[in-house]
Amino acid sequence: MSACFVVLLAPRSVAALTLVQITDLFNIFAGLMLTMSILLFFGGLGVYFTRLGTWPSDRDLAIKIMEWGVSVLFVLIVILAHCRWHNRCSRYSRSCYLCCREYGK
């Protein structure tokens, strides 16, 4: 009962996001992931070269930071490839198997 009153009293700006707004949010998220992967990798590379002549070098931390940068970049590539595949296959009204069979040649 109280849920009905909340819906009636809620402003229209609380409506669900449209597909364009969700796509814009995804583009912002992908840009942030790309920036984070570049900063992590080159930050780790900087730490690696900074500790090059020191003893004990403790460069293992720098290698772990670079691994995180490469991992974030790999996850971003997989997500973008999945979205590109989904966008290509969703253009057709038939099943995805038919459109992928057409492009698989």
Mean pLDDT on 17-46: 85
pLDDT score at 53: 84
pLDDT score at 47: 94
Query: What's the mean per-residue pLDDT of the chain?
Result: 77
Mean pLDDT on 67-85: 89
98 CB-near residues (< 8 Å, 6+ apart): 92
CA 49, 50, 54, 59 dihedral sign is negative
**Among the listed residues 80, 78, 100, 75, the one whose alpha carbon sits nearest the alpha carbon of residue 90:** 100
Taking only the tens place, the pLDDT of each residue in 79-100 is: 888 777 776 766 554 555 555 5
- What is the crossing angle of helices 60-89 and 19-50, to 10°? 160
